[in-house]
Copies of this chain bind each other. A is one copy, B any other.
Amino acid sequence: MRVIADIAIVPLGVGLSLSPWVAAVERVLEEAGLEPRLHANGTNVEGEWDDVLGALKRCHEVLHEMGAPRIATNLRLGTRTDRAQTMDDKLASVRAKI
């Protein structure tokens, strides 16, 4: 089962600058063989369910190891069985109609 996901991870108890933590998330996703696409409020990623959700678990583990005592994640997950669709497909489809 393929999934298109949007991951927004917020570590708590680490002060106000979240960029080092978001950068760590990007690295974990890349090390998992995914190709994360950072945006201003999260990261797009796509792949097999177990690969994407496994990488997300690893993100929580790594941020805790780095010293974040508490993490709040917001996640969007899209799956479909009617047809294959990539993130690029989604973007192209919308842009053709704007």
Contacts and interface: CB of A to CB of B under 8 A. Distances in A.
Interface of A: 1, 4-6, 8, 10, 12-13, 15-20, 22-23, 26-27, 37-42, 44, 46, 49-50, 53, 57, 60-61, 64, 69-82, 87-88, 90-91, 93-98
Copy total for this chain: 4
A19 B93 contact: yes
Contacts of A78: 41, 70-73
Nearest to A19: B93
B6 A40 contact: yes
Contacts of A26: 94, 98
A19 B94 contact: yes
B77 A23 contact: no
